Homo-oligomer: A and B are copies of this chain.
Amino acid sequence: MDECIRNCSDCHAICVATIRYCLEQGGRHADPAHITLMETCADICRTSADAMLRGADVHVHTCRACMEICRRCAEDCASMGDDAQMQRCADACRRCAESCARMAA
């Protein structure tokens, strides 16, 4: 569970920072659907991390939602092409999705 908390916290932080980066890039990066996906990804990562930090057994439900949303966010970020910041964000989302999948199982 500690690894999942860390992955959710890392994914939250990199999503929040990457939104700024995307707004500065403009174009596809600043597409409303992409930004709102990243904002929601940041929120559910935070909610899941906190549910686990406080030992709430309903964390299985937040982790399942987190897994689904992180997968979508990882695909969206990876589709932005050869862009180091987006690939780092996609990697963080994938790691978070994988550990949430284990917690939600």
Contact = CB atoms under 8 A, between A and B. Distances in A.
Interface of A: 5, 9, 13, 16-17, 19-20, 23-24, 26, 30-33, 35-37, 39-44, 46-47, 49-51, 53-59, 61-62, 64-65, 68-69, 72
A17 B1 CA distance: 13
A65 B61 contact: yes
Main secondary structure of the interface of A (DSSP, over half): helix
A54 B9 contact: no
Nearest to A13: B53
29 contacts: A9-B9, A9-B13, A13-B49, A16-B50, A16-B54, A17-B54, A20-B32, A20-B54, A23-B30, A23-B31, A23-B36, A26-B30, A30-B30, A35-B35, A36-B51, A39-B54, A40-B51, A40-B56, A41-B58, A42-B50, A43-B62, A44-B47, A44-B61, A44-B62, A46-B46, A61-B64, A61-B69, A62-B69, A64-B65
